[in-house]
Every structure is written in structure tokens, then in C-alpha cells.
Amino acid sequence: MKKYDIVIVGAGIAGMTAAIYAVRAGKKVLVLEERVQGGQIINTINIENWPGDLGVSGADLSQKIYAQMVELGAEVEFDKVIKISVDDEGFVVDGEDDSYKASAVIIASGTEPRKLSDEMMKDVGKRPVSYCATCDGALYKGKKVVVVGHGNSAEHEIKYLKGICSEVYNIHHDDPIPADAEAIFVAIGRLPLTDYLKGFVELDEKGYVISDEDCKTSVPGVFVAGDVRTKNLRQLVTAASDGSIAATNAIEYLG
Ligand SMILES: Cc1cc2nc3c(=O)[nH]c(=O)nc-3n(C[C@H](O)[C@H](O)[C@H](O)COP(=O)(O)OP(=O)(O)OC[C@H]3O[C@@H](n4cnc5c(N)ncnc54)[C@H](O)[C@@H]3O)c2cc1C
């Protein structure tokens, strides 16, 4: 089993920033990513509130940070983490494909979109459901679609779809779906990706990893960064900020 100073779960903005700090401090770092580097920002066309880059896309920003992290020496494996445990030497991080040893771990697994209820799915029937207008909107050019949800991300989806579709309905998560809507876009919030952490670190009632600005968890040697932790503002700058703090505290823990 390969051994690392720090294993980071997730190559979103939080995880990749943590990796940059850790490799620059001379640590041997592995980043494990289930899907693709960049995380939830990857499909956003125009990023807002990211200092120094007006109108950069999520894909471009992610690629720049990924290239920087790899250039500096971080290793990356595309593997889904399914369990983390403790042994005599530190931590064992089990992926679907392999297992990895670590002296410290940084959790940066982010969030996923909240799904529609089973009841609402009955109303959806055979119509397609999407959680990303930027990814799938073009498939419904000139068609009638519905956006479920009323927050900032629903507003973003509506604005985007209005430029493509003939009609964009907007409903709450418990409203009936208009009969003539041909596709359903869902934006009803997000949930933390922490199933693999149950029983290992303390989670709050919604499943977020309990921590504060020091990015420490209930387990010494395990740190947390980004949207997956308890916090008030889930944005790119706070994800990057957490990544720097989690890595700095992990480096200090390693001595
Ligand atoms: C549509 C949309 C638009 C947004 N626009 C903006 C904006 O303009 N400005 C802004 O500041 N913020 C924006 N945000 C919020 C911002 O994207 C997030 O705050 C930020 O990306 C969080 O980064 P993160 O690294 O914490 O998590 P994520 O981006 O969620 O990354 C987590 C990564 O971990 C991986 N992962 C999860 N579980 C595992 C596992 N078990 N094993 C291995 N890998 C795993 C995931 O695949 C993912 O790549 C937006 C969010 C959305 C959804």
C-alpha cells in the first residue's frame, strides 16, 4: 500500500488549494477524486466573486488550479473513497480501486444536489430530470421546461434556460409539475457527501463535518475544508481559504 504524508479526499477548489499548500511545504500528497477535478464549479460559465478574474469559467479556473497542483508535485488518483479508518501507523483510506496510507487526512468532498422526493418523481414520470442547466439546457432548445426551486441556484438556472427554451416555468419542490413541461431542472439545495465518514468523524444532523475556522475535526490528524464542513458561506473563496488552513494545520500536526 502506498504511503503519503497527507491524503486529500476531493479535487474541488478546497482540496486542490490544500494540495498546493501541502506540496509547497515539502509534503508527499495524494489527492483522490471520484469524478473530475474542479468539483461543483466545473460547469459554471461565468464565475462571480472570485477576485482577480472577471468572467472566468469554472472549467478554466479548475484546470489552472489542477495544473498548478500537479506541476508542484501533488499526485492524483481518480478513485472514490468509501472508507477511512485508523491503524498503528496512521490512517488507511480505502477507495473503490485501491487503499492508501496517510499520516494525516484532509476531507474536501463537497456537496451534491438534493434530489426530488419519490412522490415528485411519480409526477415527473418518464420526462428527463437534470441538475445542471449549463450541462443539459441545450438539449431542450425551443422546448418548455420547468425549474424546481427558489434559491440563488434556481435563479441561475432560470436565467440560463430563458436564453434557450420557449418557456421556463418555476415551481416549488411540492408543487405539481406543469403537464406540458418537457424536461425538469432541479435546484432545491445541496447535501454533503459524507456517507463514507459516518461513525468516523462527528457530523451534524444534516451530515456536514463539524468544524470551525481551524478546519479541525473530532479526530486528531483529520482536517476538513470547503463546502463539506459546517459553515455559513459556501463559496469558492471560502473553499480555497479552508484548503489553506486545513493544509497548514495538517503540516503542523505532522511536525
Ligand atoms: C451552479 C453553481 C454555481 C456556483 N457559482 C459560484 C460562483 O460564481 N462563485 C462562487 O464563489 N461560488 C459559486 N458556487 C459555489 C462553489 O462552487 C462552491 O462553494 C465550491 O466549489 C466548493 O468547493 P469544494 O472544493 O468545497 O467542494 P466541491 O466543488 O463539491 O468538490 C468536492 C470534490 O470531491 C469529490 N468527491 C466527493 N466525494 C468523494 C469521494 N468519496 N471520493 C473521492 N472524491 C470525492 C467530488 O467529485 C468533487 O470533485 C457555485 C456552485 C454551484 C453549484
User: Does domain 115-186 fall into CATH 3.50.50.60?
Assistant: yes
Cβ–ligand 1 contact at 209 (below 6 Å) = no
Q: Residue 226 has what pLDDT?
A: 98
Cα angle for residues 136, 10, 244 (degrees, 5° grid): 120
Q: What is the model's pLDDT at position 153?
A: 85
Beta carbon of 48 within 6 Å of any ligand 1 atom? yes
Which portions of the chain are predicted below pLDDT 70?
none
Alpha helices in 97-196 (DSSP H): 118-124, 133-136, 152-162
Domain with CATH 3.50.50.60 in the chain: 2-112+191-254, 115-186
The per-residue pLDDT for 135 is 87
Instruction: Please report the atom of ligand 1 found closest to the CA of residue 193.
Output: 38
Q: Is 187 a pocket residue for ligand 1 (Cβ < 6 Å)? A: no
Cα(88) to centroid(ligand 1), Å = 33
User: 125-164: per-residue pLDDT in tens?
Assistant: 999 999 999 889 999 999 999 999 999 889 989 999 999 9
Query: Which phi and psi angles does 117 have, rounded to 5°?
Result: -70, 160
Query: Do residues 31 and 69 lie in contact, with contact meaning Cβ atoms separated by under 8 Å?
Result: yes
Measured from the Cα of 134, ligand 1's closest atom is 1
Report the CATH architecture of 2-112+191-254. 3-Layer(bba) Sandwich (3.50)
